């Protein structure tokens, strides 16, 4: 059975570790991440962006696929199926389709509208036992014309959104999606500390979890981050392993072109990377 992410993140917060939220793109991703979670005895969150939702033929298809793969593989660790960066309509659609957790990302609205829409999603989700992540953006991070530092949230706004009853909160602290540029300023721990204070110990979410140095990840967890989102890192290891297989001409040897063989190195690379990250985030062994 898939579960809400609320309890696993509260436990993570209390235990000073973080649960990885790994984005899924297809069946291979789903299998590899679930296998990794079972291997590492770790709770896990499967993230689905709206784009990946369309790619995988809709939310209902994903719910059915994840549930069936989960049962077929005999997964016993806690697994949540979570909408990543959901729109208002997307969050409602996922709740109706059977997701166990949703993110409503209203950070691009003005703050009052973000509050109003977050409130509505919270009522809709909580009446069905589904956990909700909201996001606060705010101050645009720009320095010397460099706009890729990411956004830095206002702790006060974070406090107001948290007070609505949000289960976990994504707040910009200089983190960005995709690869970090060489001149990236790093995470803003001063703001992170203030956000944790303003939100009374609510589990916080670190987006853009690929490519952040290990010491910064550890410090973020210390300061209240309990969920770390990872997407790019898995895409990179999958692509590298697949490239190696083809460049070594293995697809041309015997039946090396069989998709089950062609995609196997990439799937294995994802599993290994997820296990490594679960160890790094401290969630390994927490689902024993
Ligand atoms: P990365 O692109 O750093 O993996 O971030 C993923 C993410 O935050 C998804 O919401």
- Residue 105 CA to ligand 1 centre (angstroms): 14
Report the pocket of ligand 1 as residue ranges, CB < 6 Å.
23, 84-85, 177-178, 207-210, 229-233
| Candidate from 5, 23, 205, 270 with most ligand 1 atoms within 8 A of CB, to mutate | 23
Looking at per-residue pLDDT, the higher value among 209 and 288 belongs to 209
205-209 mean pLDDT: 94
Q: Which atom of ligand 1 is nearest to the CA of 85?
A: 10
Residue labelled with tokens 């406090």 = 159
Of 208, 135, 137, 144, nearest in space to 178 by CA: 208
Q: Which atom of ligand 1 is nearest to the CA of 232?
A: 4
Residues 32-89: tens digit of each pLDDT: 999 999 999 999 999 999 999 999 999 999 999 999 999 999 999 999 999 999 999 9
**CA atoms of 253 and 266, how far apart (whole Å):** 18
Q: Which distant-in-sequence residues (6+ apart) come within 8 Å of 187 by Cβ?
A: 173, 174, 175, 206, 212, 216, 219, 220
Residue 138 above 60 pLDDT?
A: no
- Rounded percentage of the chain residues whose pLDDT exceeds 70: 95
| Candidate from 5, 150, 232 with most ligand 1 atoms within 8 A of CB, to mutate | 232
**How many Å separate Cα 57 from the centre of its chain?**
20
**How many Å separate Cα 137 from the centre of its chain?**
17
Q: What angle (nearest 5°) sits at the alpha carbon of residue 36, between those of residues 32 and 39? A: 140
**CA atoms of 153 and 221, how far apart (whole Å):** 18
108-126 mean pLDDT: 96
Instruction: Clarify whether 84 is annotated catalytic.
Output: yes
Structure confidence at residue 183 (pLDDT): 86
248-275 mean pLDDT: 98
268-272 mean pLDDT: 98
For 24, which DSSP code? -
Residue identifier of the C-alpha nearest atom 1 of ligand 1 = 208
Measured in degrees and rounded to the nearest 5, phi and psi for residue 205 equal: -115, 130
Q: Which atom of ligand 1 is nearest to the CA of 176?
A: 3
Q: Could you say which of 71, 84, 144, 251 is catalytic?
A: 84
- Rounded percentage of the chain residues whose pLDDT exceeds 90: 88
Residue 252 above 60 pLDDT?
A: yes
Helix, strand, coil share of the chain (percent; to 5): 50, 15, 35
Task: Please state which of the ranges 126-130, 141-145, 188-192, 217-221 shows the lowest mean pLDDT.
Answer: 141-145
Dihedral class, residue 172 (left if φ above 0, else alpha if ψ from -120 to 50, else beta): beta
Average model confidence (pLDDT) across the chain: 94
H or E, element range at 170: strand 168-171
Residue labelled with tokens 């659609």 = 93
232-261 mean pLDDT: 98
226-240 mean pLDDT: 97
| Candidate from 229, 233, 273, 280 with most ligand 1 atoms within 8 A of CB, to mutate | 229
Sorted by where each starts, the structural domains of the chain and their CATH numbers stand as 6-232 (3.20.20.70)
pLDDT band at 217 (very low <50, low <70, confident <90, very high): very high
Q: Which atom of ligand 1 is nearest to the CA of 177?
A: 2
**CA atoms of 181 and 121, how far apart (whole Å):** 34
Residue 190 above 60 pLDDT?
A: yes
Residue 101 above 90 pLDDT?
A: yes
For residue 70 the two structure tokens come to 């989960």
Structure confidence at residue 149 (pLDDT): 54
């Amino acid at each position: 059975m898939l579960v809400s992410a609320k309890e696993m993140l509260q436990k993570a917060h209390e235990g000073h570790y973080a649960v990885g939220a790994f984005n899924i793109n297809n069946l291979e991703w789903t299998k590899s991440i679930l296998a990794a979670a079972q291997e590492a005895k770790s709770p896990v969150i499967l993230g689905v962006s709206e784009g990946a939702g369309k790619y995988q033929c809709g939310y209902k298809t994903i719910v059915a696929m994840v549930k069936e793969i989960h049962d077929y593989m005999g997964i016993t660790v806690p697994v949540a199926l979570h909408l990543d960066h959901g729109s208002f309509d997307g969050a409602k659609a996922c709740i109706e389709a059977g997701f166990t957790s949703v993110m409503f990302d209203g950070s691009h609205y003005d703050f009052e509208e973000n509050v109003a829409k977050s409130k509505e999603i919270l009522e809709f989700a909580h009446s069905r036992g589904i956990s909700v992540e909201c996001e606060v953006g705010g101050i645009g991070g720009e320095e010397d014309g460099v706009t890729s530092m990411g956004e830095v949230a206002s702790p006060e706004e974070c406090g107001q959104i948290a007070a609505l009853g949000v289960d976990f909160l994504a707040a910009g602290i200089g983190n960005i999606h995709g690869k970090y540029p060489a001149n990236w300023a790093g995470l803003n721990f001063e703001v992170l500390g203030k956000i944790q204070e303003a939100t009374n110990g609510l589990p916080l979410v670190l987006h853009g979890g690929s490519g952040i140095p290990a010491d910064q990840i550890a410090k973020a967890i210390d300061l209240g981050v309990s969920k770390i989102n990872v997407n790019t890192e898995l895409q990179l290891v999958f692509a590298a392993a697949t490239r190696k297989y083809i460049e070594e001409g293995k697809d041309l040897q015997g039946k090396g072109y069989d998709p089950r063989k062609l995609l196997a190195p990439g799937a294995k690379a994802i599993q290994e990377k997820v296990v490594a990250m679960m160890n790094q985030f401290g969630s390994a062994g927490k689902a024993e």
